[in-house]
């Protein structure tokens, strides 16, 4: 279900200069980074890139969703980690991305961990935003 503007409790604002080979910064000054294409795309690879930033945001958001689901089910996921691998490549429309989410959840058996990440995938805002648009695979 979509939210309306009146439902918004926080808005992040970032500005890019010179696209994938320039700089990105947030309006509050907490993020100010040089961005460059990776060497694999013919760039210098000296700065970060949009895929790294997306991977960082998605993994953090998914970790939060995992914690919410685990709390609801009374499961301790302390010490867990979530890694997002974001790939970019050519597709029929030009370029597209693909995401692999993997979670390491200590002290939780594999079946329970798989169930938790599948449930987290249903509530994570990044997962909701990408659902039906890109391939996202999950693993523990």
Statement: residue 13 has pLDDT above 90: yes
Statement: residue 116 has pLDDT above 80: yes
Report the candidate in 64, 90, 89, 85 with the shortest Cα–Cα distance to residue 136: 85
pLDDT (average), residues 94-109: 96
Per-residue pLDDT tens digits for 16-68: 999 999 999 999 999 999 999 999 999 999 999 999 999 999 999 999 999 99
Q: What is the pLDDT of residue 78?
A: 96
Contacts 24+ apart (CB under 8 A), 65-70: 65/120, 65/121, 65/123, 65/124, 65/125, 65/127, 66/103, 66/105, 66/116, 66/117, 66/120, 68/120, 68/123, 69/116, 69/119, 69/120, 69/123, 70/116
Statement: residue 96 has pLDDT above 90: yes
pLDDT-based confidence at residue 2 (cuts at 50, 70, 90): confident
Statement: residue 69 has pLDDT above 90: yes
Least confident piece of the model among 1-15, 22-36, 113-127: 1-15
Average pLDDT, the chain: 96
């Amino acid at each position: 279900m979509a939210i309306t503007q009146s439902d918004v409790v926080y808005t992040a604002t970032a500005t890019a200069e010179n696209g994938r080979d320039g700089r990105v910064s947030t309006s509050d000054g907490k993020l100010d980074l040089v961005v460059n294409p990776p060497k694999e795309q013919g760039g210098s690879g000296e700065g970060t890139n949009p895929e790294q930033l997306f991977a960082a945001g998605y993994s953090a958001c998914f970790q939060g969703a995992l914690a919410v689901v685990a709390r609801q089910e009374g499961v301790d996921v302390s010490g867990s980690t979530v890694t997002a691998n974001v790939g970019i490549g050519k597709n029929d429309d030009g370029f597209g991305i693909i995401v692999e989410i993997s979670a390491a959840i200590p002290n939780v058996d594999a079946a329970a961990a798989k169930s938790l990440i599948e449930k987290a995938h249903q509530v994570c805002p990044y997962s909701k935003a990408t659902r039906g648009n890109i391939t996202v695979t999950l693993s523990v």
